[in-house]
Amino acid sequence: PGEQAEPDPTKKTLVVLGTGWGSVSLLKKLDTENYNVVVISPRNYFLFTPLLPSCTTGTIEHRSIMEPIRNFLRHKKAAVKYYEAEATKIDYEKRIVYINDESEIKGATTTNEVKFDMLVVGVGAENATFGIPGVREHGCFLKEVSDAQRIRKRIMDCCETATFKDQSPEEIKRLLHMVVVGGGPTGVEFAGELQDFFENDLRKWIPEIANNFHVTLVEALPQVLPMFSKNLIDYTEQTFKEETIEIRTKTMVKNVTEKYIEAEYTDAAGVKQLDKIPYGLLVWATGNALRPVVKDLMSQIPAQKDSRRGLVVNEYLVVKGAENVWAIGDCAIANYAPTAQVASQEGAFLARLFNQMAKTDEIQEELSLLSEKQAVAANKELRDGIFGDIKELQKRLRRVKQMGPFEYSHQGSLAYIGSEKAVADISWFTGNLASGGQLTYLFWRSAYLSMCFSTRNRVLVIMDWMKSYVFGRDVSRE
Ligand code: FAD
Ligand code: NAD
């Protein structure tokens, strides 16, 4: 199919926002022949987020976990339009999405409107900062490829600056203090990867920093990894201790400046104290917040006014209070955790739903044609024949319409915790299996490898693993 193919006026226009876990899983399974499909996203690739923490230290190169959306869309049966742009506003009553080209190169047109009959919102979430001053200016997030690249550069910058001629001892300590805020899986995995980088490579390549390089994980709650079972939380904390990663739980960061963070904790006497913690690198991983385009859409729909965390959807993932608008993934609230697992299952569910809806429309059209034919049929024999066909079609229609609501099937939680160890809470036939250690690490590796988007990604990731195993990670600062 040609890229420039005009939309088919007999088909509905389905607009999909985002090229993340939810939207790509939908597009993978969607029969694109049934709709005029338009995809809008500022990112022209899919990103395999579970391996993003490994990109911060160069264990894996970022391009190995990216899959160009163009490459994937060109294999679809019918042409899909893709616009590299951000949806800035959704007018659900007028059924228009306003889009903006945010890239560096601007054409004569940078803003536009896209009309839709059906809309899927899969724009994910932003990084939460809870309005804490200084986070955006001085911290690094870990959500996108650019974040991982920035962190990788900063780690090396801190190490090189710490070894600058006549650097003072306090400054060396500060520069080599790597602080991670947020003890969810993102923070834990990053802390583990960073400590590995130090143990396996940095320590050998820059021995001067060996005594001062230090990773601290700060968490407001009493424990890290709250979604894992208690024994795995203990195992993680114990492993971090052995890896010499310091965990500071019950410590809430309140302010961030260029060189230190201010964190509140309660001392042994029960008195609240404010601690100044100097840092060289600050990675901020405190979870998700709403994107402005989602917040704006929610403000237009009365049924969404009480929701704080995202678009509330029903059991068919329809945005409550809006017709013909569906939401999936991190921007949708369906009582599941904001994970890739949930997003991809939601996307696949919508693809099935849309494929069935198209079939239903097709059958209904055929039925009305047959009814007309039956009404003008010349003789009884012909009428009876058509009646039989109608009965058959009605049976098919009932079958097609019988699609149950979305049901999430939890496969388990997995996280890498450093020094070739991982933790896993797996849903097993007989119940739950909680395991941690090196075997789990092998499982973690093979599970993530099998989940990679394409064979190309899989091969690249294996090559990266081998490369860093044989030659060590690359410590050049780009
Ligand atoms: P995303 O995958 O974030 O995709 C959102 C898409 O929308 C992107 O393409 C973005 O460019 C696009 N977009 C943004 N704004 C707009 C706009 N205005 N208009 C149009 N498009 C827009 N989950 C797991 O289950 N297992 C894991 O191991 C795991 N590891 C993770 C590791 C890290 C470091 C991170 C950050 C997350 C991890 N997650 C993991 C969580 C998982 O990545 C998310 O839950 C998942 O990405 C959500 O999918 P989504 O489609 O909703 O959003
Ligand atoms: P999260 O929401 O899971 O954890 C954030 C943590 O930051 C919380 O424990 C919170 O108490 C803490 N926090 C918040 N404000 C703080 C402050 N001011 N000071 C100190 N601590 C503070 O966030 P995440 O780890 O980014 O994960 C986001 C989502 O992605 C989750 O649903 C998670 O399950 C998913 N994810 C999964 C994996 C995996 O399965 N391996 C990996 C990464 C992310």
Kindly state whether residue 271 falls inside one of the protein's structural domains.
yes
Confidence of residue 427 (pLDDT cuts 50, 70, 90): confident
Give the CATH number of the domain where residue 139 resides.
3.50.50.100
Residues 85 and 37 in one domain: yes
Q: Are strands 118-121 and 12-17 parallel, antiparallel or unpaired?
A: parallel
Residues 167 and 52 in one domain: no
Say what the pLDDT of residue 168 is: 97
CA of 179 to the centre of ligand 1 (A): 24
Say what the pLDDT of residue 437 is: 85
Task: Assess whether the C-beta atom of 415 lies below 6 angstroms from ligand 2.
Answer: yes
Kindly state whether residue 284 falls inside one of the protein's structural domains.
yes
- Identity at 96, one-letter amino acid code: I
Q: Can you spell out the DSSP letters for 407-421?
A: -----EEEEEEETTE
- Label residue 244 left, alpha or beta by phi (over 0 means left) and psi (-120 to 50 means alpha): left
Q: Can you spell out the DSSP letters for 339-354?
A: -HHHHHHHHHHHHHHH
Pocket test for ligand 1, best of 99, 123, 344 (most atoms within 8 A of CB): 123
CA of 117 to the centre of ligand 1 (A): 25
Task: Assess whether the C-beta atom of 293 lies below 6 angstroms from ligand 1.
Answer: yes
Residues 141 and 266 in one domain: yes
Task: Assess whether the C-beta atom of 220 lies below 6 angstroms from ligand 2.
Answer: yes
Q: Can you spell out the DSSP letters for 134-164?
A: THHHH-B--SSHHHHHHHHHHHHHHHHHHTS
Kindly state whether residue 454 falls inside one of the protein's structural domains.
yes
Task: Assess whether the C-beta atom of 222 lies below 6 angstroms from ligand 2.
Answer: no
Residues 187 and 247 in one domain: yes
Task: Assess whether the C-beta atom of 147 lies below 6 angstroms from ligand 2.
Answer: no
Task: Assess whether the C-beta atom of 49 lies below 6 angstroms from ligand 2.
Answer: no
Kindly state whether residue 72 falls inside one of the protein's structural domains.
yes
- Identity at 362, one-letter amino acid code: E
Residues 175 and 246 in one domain: yes
CA of 225 to the centre of ligand 2 (A): 8
Residues 424 and 385 in one domain: no
Say what the pLDDT of residue 5 is: 63
Kindly state whether residue 4 falls inside one of the protein's structural domains.
no
Angle value at C-alpha 381, between 379 and 382, nearest 5 degrees: 70
Residues 332 and 239 in one domain: no
CA of 300 to the centre of ligand 1 (A): 24
Three-state DSSP class for 439? helix
- Residue 68: enclosing H or E segment and its boundaries? strand 66-68
Radius of gyration of the chain (CA): 26
Kindly state whether residue 478 falls inside one of the protein's structural domains.
no
Q: Residues of the chain with pLDDT > 70: what percent?
A: 98
Residues 421 and 274 in one domain: yes
Per DSSP, what are the bridge partners of residue 320?
Answer: none
Kindly state whether residue 2 falls inside one of the protein's structural domains.
no
Residues 264 and 144 in one domain: yes
Q: Please identify, among 378, 401, 424, the residue that sits at the C-terminal boundary of a domain.
A: 401
Give tens-digit pLDDT for 254-281. Answer: 999 999 999 999 998 999 999 999 999 9
Residues 118 and 240 in one domain: no
Say what the pLDDT of residue 322 is: 94
Kindly state whether residue 130 falls inside one of the protein's structural domains.
no
Residues 155 and 71 in one domain: no
Confidence of residue 433 (pLDDT cuts 50, 70, 90): confident
Question: What is d(CA 471, CA 419) in angstroms, rounded to the nearest whole number?
Answer: 18
Phi and psi, residue 15, nearest 5°: -100, 130
Residues 163 and 269 in one domain: yes
Give tens-digit pLDDT for 309-367. Answer: 999 999 999 999 999 999 999 999 998 999 999 999 999 999 999 999 999 988 998 99
- Total domain count for the chain? 3
Strand order in the sheet with 325-327: 81-84, 35-41, 12-17, 118-121, 325-327
Confidence of residue 450 (pLDDT cuts 50, 70, 90): very high
Q: Which domain holds residue 376?
A: 360-401
Pocket test for ligand 2, best of 180, 186, 236, 441 (most atoms within 8 A of CB): 186
Give tens-digit pLDDT for 205-244. Answer: 999 999 999 999 999 999 999 999 999 999 999 999 999 9
Q: Please identify, among 354, 372, 388, the residue that sits at the C-terminal boundary of a domain.
A: 354
CA of 19 to the centre of ligand 2 (A): 22
